[in-house]
Amino acid sequence: MSQKVWKIGVAGLGTVGGGLLQFLSERPEFAPAGGRVVVTGVSARSRSRPRSVDISGLTWFDDPVALATSPETDIFVELVGGSDGPAKAAVEAALKAGKPVVTANKALIAEHGAELAVLAEAAGVPLLFEAAVMGGTPAVKMLREAMVGDEVKGVAGILNGTCNFILSEMEAKGSAFADVLADAQRMGYAEADPTMDVGGFDAAHKVSILAALAFGCAPNFAAAEIEGITGVDALDIRMARDLGYRIRLIASADISAEGVAVRVHPSLVPEGHPLAETRGALNALFIEGARIGRIFIQGPGAGSGPTAAAVAADIADVMTGARRPVFQAPARDLKPFVAVAPTRRVGKAYLRLLVKDQAGVIAAVSETLAECGVSIDSFLQKPVEDAGGVPIVLTTHAIAESVLTDAINRIEKLPAVLERPRLLRIARI
């Protein structure tokens, strides 16, 4: 019996697209269900750009929409990127034409996932995006498939390798953020414009997708609370270490009776914790289930090989004929995303103050905190050269964020305080 041949159209021939073409040319019969894969058409911004793979024998499409709807495309793979523009238009066109879609585009799924799910389910075709979160580490499949027999309570982890590399290097070398960022750009870990990564937006896209899968709600990137790592100072990393913590960019999603909280913040993680020990460009994630308990996965979150492997795994799922809702429930049954107000969050915190070297400063700060109802857990005063003042660091017991913000506003106005106190959350993990 002859094997079925699946014709693949690939839009986007960057790092991941090139890796995918290389893999499929070497292993066209990789799928366990049988069948053979052949790439028949490609599309990208530039046809003449030098590439590591030969595309001369493939049909070129200037317009990815034309590739998506071509009769020679059985499965459309979108690796263009971006939440709108050509990527969105091509994916919509493919779904409306009844073509299965595989994408690595976290921004597209986080911002338009609900409407795309309606199109996919109406057409009866898969919309798969394993490679959109944690690259080759199977976070999406874990929630979409392995956890369906449980009730997920929350997810938390490190979802951006660029930020983790920068924070790890700052910790190891004692270097300033700007210096390590420049190194990361030279090494290819960070883009020329690193805003999406260091601003926390990339991690927020990813955790918004995980929240939708975990809780059966429509993804809502606009409701995410986002803070990047640009404000993390080498001084904070040193002081946190003296308190027994490391700083990591933590993305989390939790559900409660009030709603869903999706957050991205630089946070203190206790030394020895698996997330504190996740260094370099690795990603890591905890999933909390009501019955299973805690699951931990760790692996590469980007790169040609790992991400292309995740795309190939989704192609294999299409070939098996597996059918699941795009998210944890049919698109028409997705729960509305009710966001929890950030001010109502309760947790422990790290405060770093820079004050004048004079008597009575600590007493004034302590009195202000007490008046606001903030309880101090630990306290550290340590002279630091070239700090421009005396740094004082304290950690609090669990407190509502609105109360803590009020205390910070009042402390900032004290005559001996030289700048607004620096707030970092202590991760609840």
Given a contact cutoff of 8 angstroms between Cβ atoms, the answer to whether 266 and 424 are in contact is yes
| Dihedral (CA of 418, 424, 425, 429) sign | negative
Q: In angstroms, rounded to a whole number, what is the distance separating the alpha carbons of residues 319 and 267?
A: 42
Compute the average pLDDT of residues 355-369: 91
Q: What is the percent of the chain where pLDDT is above 90? A: 79
Q: In angstroms, rounded to a whole number, what is the distance separating the alpha carbons of residues 372 and 341?
A: 20
Query: How many Cβ atoms from other residues are within 10 Å of residue 204's Cβ?
Result: 28
pLDDT digits (tens, 9 = 90+) for 115-171: 999 999 999 999 999 999 999 899 999 999 999 999 999 999 999 999 999 999 999
Half-sphere CA count of 66, side-chain side, radius 13 A: 9
Q: How many angstroms separate the most distant Cα atoms in the chain?
A: 88
Q: In angstroms, rounded to a whole number, what is the distance separating the alpha carbons of residues 43 and 62?
A: 6
Report the mean per-residue pLDDT for the chain.
93
Q: In angstroms, rounded to a whole number, what is the distance separating the alpha carbons of residues 429 and 422?
A: 22
- pLDDT at residue number 91: 98
* CA angle centred on 324, ends 319 and 330, rounded to 5°: 145
- pLDDT at residue number 1: 47
- pLDDT at residue number 387: 66
Cα distance from N-terminal residue to C-terminal residue, the chain: 53
Q: In angstroms, rounded to a whole number, what is the distance separating the alpha carbons of residues 37 and 189?
A: 31
Q: In angstroms, rounded to a whole number, what is the distance separating the alpha carbons of residues 313 and 336?
A: 30
Q: Would you call 4 a catalytic residue per the annotation?
A: no
Measured CA to CA in angstroms, residue 58 lies from 36, 47, 88, 227, 312 at distances of 17, 11, 23, 43, 19
Q: In angstroms, rounded to a whole number, what is the distance separating the alpha carbons of residues 263 and 208?
A: 9
Instruction: Determine which one of 88, 99, 206, 356 is catalytic.
Output: 206
Q: In angstroms, rounded to a whole number, what is the distance separating the alpha carbons of residues 416 and 367?
A: 14
User: Taking Cα atoms as reference points, which of 404, 401, 289 lies closest to residue 340?
Assistant: 401
Helix (H, G, I), strand (E, B) or coil at 406: helix
pLDDT digits (tens, 9 = 90+) for 256-286: 888 899 999 999 999 999 999 999 989 999 9
Q: Per-residue DSSP letters for 167-179?
A: HHHHHHH---HHH
Q: What is the dihedral of CA 183, 268, 278, 312, to 10 degrees?
A: -90
177: Cβ contacts below 8 Å, ≥ 6 apart:
166, 170, 229, 230, 232, 233, 234
**Tokens linked to 84:** 């709108």
User: Taking Cα atoms as reference points, which of 143, 153, 114 lies closest to residue 333?
Assistant: 114
Q: In angstroms, rounded to a whole number, what is the distance separating the alpha carbons of residues 207 and 245?
A: 23
The distance of Cα 426 from the centroid of its chain, to the nearest Å, equals 19
Residue 5 has pLDDT above 90, yes or no: yes
Q: Per-residue DSSP letters for 93-110?
A: HHHHTT--EEE--HHHHH
Least confident of 181-195, 343-357, 374-388: 374-388
Compute the average pLDDT of residues 13-25: 94
Residue 336 has pLDDT above 90, yes or no: no
pLDDT digits (tens, 9 = 90+) for 38-47: 999 999 998 8
Measured CA to CA in angstroms, residue 198 lies from 14, 190, 248, 406 at distances of 21, 9, 12, 27
- pLDDT at residue number 215: 94
Residue 323 has pLDDT above 90, yes or no: no
Least confident of 282-286, 375-379, 385-389: 385-389
pLDDT digits (tens, 9 = 90+) for 220-234: 999 999 999 999 999
Q: In angstroms, rounded to a whole number, what is the distance separating the alpha carbons of residues 9 and 31?
A: 17
Q: What's the one-letter identity of residue 190? A: A
Measured CA to CA in angstroms, residue 415 lies from 353, 371, 372 at distances of 13, 17, 18
Compute the average pLDDT of residues 408-422: 94
**Tokens linked to 230:** 């640009």
Q: List domains and CATH numbers for the chain.
A: 5-132 (3.40.50.720), 139-299 (3.30.360.10), 343-426 (3.30.70.260)
Given a contact cutoff of 8 angstroms between Cβ atoms, the answer to whether 202 and 193 are in contact is no
Residue 71 has pLDDT above 50, yes or no: yes
Measured CA to CA in angstroms, residue 152 lies from 79, 143, 144, 328, 347 at distances of 29, 8, 11, 11, 21
